Chains A and B, each alone.
Chain A
Amino acid sequence: MVKKVFKIQGMHCTACAMDIDGELEDTEGIKESNTNYAKQLSEIIFDPGKVSEEKIRDIIKGLGYNATY
């Protein structure tokens, strides 16, 4: 398990953070996701053997936000 911080762009309110966390935590290989709206950051704990950073970024992108790490 590794912990990585992703920078998120395009969140309009706290519900977006909830959306991102929910979607990520439903993904196989991601243990926990904590998105902070005010800081526009996501702290994600995941298993790099099961899910890649690119895959995480794509999931976030799919929800309509931009993620960089």
Chain B
Amino acid sequence: MTINFWTIFLTGLFTGGLTCLAVQGGLLAATIAQQEEEKLKEKTKLTGNALPVTAFLVAKLIAYTGLGFFLGWFGSFFQISLAFQVLMQFAVVVFMIGTALNLLNIHPIFRYFVIQPPKFLTRLIRRQSKNKNLFAPILLGAFTVFIPCGTTQAMMVLAIGSGSPALGAAILFAFVIGTSPLFFTLGYFAMKLGDSLQQKFMKLAAYSLILLAIFNLNGAIALTGSSFTFENIGSNFWCYLTSCKGNTLGAAVTEAVIEFNAGYYNPSLITVKTNSEVKLNLVNKDGSSCMQSFVIPSLGILRMVQYGTSDIVEFTAPKEVGRLTFMCGMGMYRGVINVI
């Protein structure tokens, strides 16, 4: 998860100077120009652009974090069944890859992955940029949620896919924070990035989007109950090379306590006998966001265990020897039930 947020932040960092944000910068520059005019009329001292640009960025950050919260909340309604969750995770992956391929200019068809905001909104925002009001930069910053460009839309979809208000808010917060340094610089000096530099940034943004999509794809694959996640393929390959004996197995149990901690399960490995009745006591001690849903894909088990609560899951172990994977609602955090 730490890596994920870093990737989101980096994606923001690279997109901070792209045309879409340069347009927002242009609008901001227009607003600042209006204010400068007012100031000249009032014969007050020029204070530079730092204040309006900062006000704009802070308003934007708050607006997007709020939007992320709302999108995550909206996404939580799709967590009604495992099938829906898997479907949504795959849809997020497709959207992100489509956006990345559009940035890389692979084929005109990928332009359709970018949703164009309706005309009345863009007109409203443009009119706002001509406002002389002192709060104009703040309003403009907040209004930019209505004109998200491709990469931002991909992040919004990721926030929906997170299925949690807190996680959705964190995703858009990390992204907008990432876009801020370059945006501040460009806004302060009222300039645009050169074409070749913009091309480079666009490519970097596309690659980090693809990286994020791969993280999500891995989670989606895990959620389907398939064992072909990248980690599993990697460790199988490693075992093939080193002829390892696999994980050390504990004694088979019929009842176990699984604690949800921040980012990991304790224990993350339990052993049960084939065809035995198993009782799992799920105790959510410190598992926020997607950890609040507990999933065993291959058994079709999906259970909501809110932060600080506990629940019991009972099932009959499969008749065949093998491995069952249990995980959080996004397939990010995982553990194994060994069936012997």
Contacts and interface: CB of A to CB of B under 8 A. Distances in A.
A, B bound = yes
B147 A18 contact: yes
A13 B114 contact: yes
A16 to B, nearest CB: 6
Interface in B13-66: 18-21, 23-24, 26
B116 A12 contact: no
B259 to A, nearest CB: 45
Interface string A1-19: 0000000000011111111
Given A19-B23, A37-B111, A38-B112, A12 B117 contact: no
Given A12-B18, A14-B20, A16-B23, A22 B122 contact: yes
A64 to B, nearest CB: 8
Interface in A33-64: 34, 36-38, 40
Contacts of B126: 18, 22
Contact of A13 (B20, B26, B123): B20
Contacts of A14: 20, 114-117, 147, 149-150
Provide the main secondary structure of the chain B interface.
Answer: helix
A34 B118 CA distance: 10
Contact of B19 (A16, A22, A25): A16
B257 to A, nearest CB: 50
A21 B119 contact: yes
B167 interface: no
Contact of A18 (B111, B112, B122, B198): B122
Contacts of B19: 12-13, 15-16
Nearest to B15: A13
A24 to B, nearest CB: 11
B202 interface: yes
Contacts of B108: 40
B117 A18 contact: yes
Interface of A: 12-19, 21-22, 25, 34, 36-38, 40
15 contacts: A12-B18, A12-B198, A14-B20, A14-B116, A14-B117, A15-B19, A16-B19, A18-B23, A19-B26, A21-B119, A21-B122, A37-B114, A37-B116, A38-B111, A38-B114
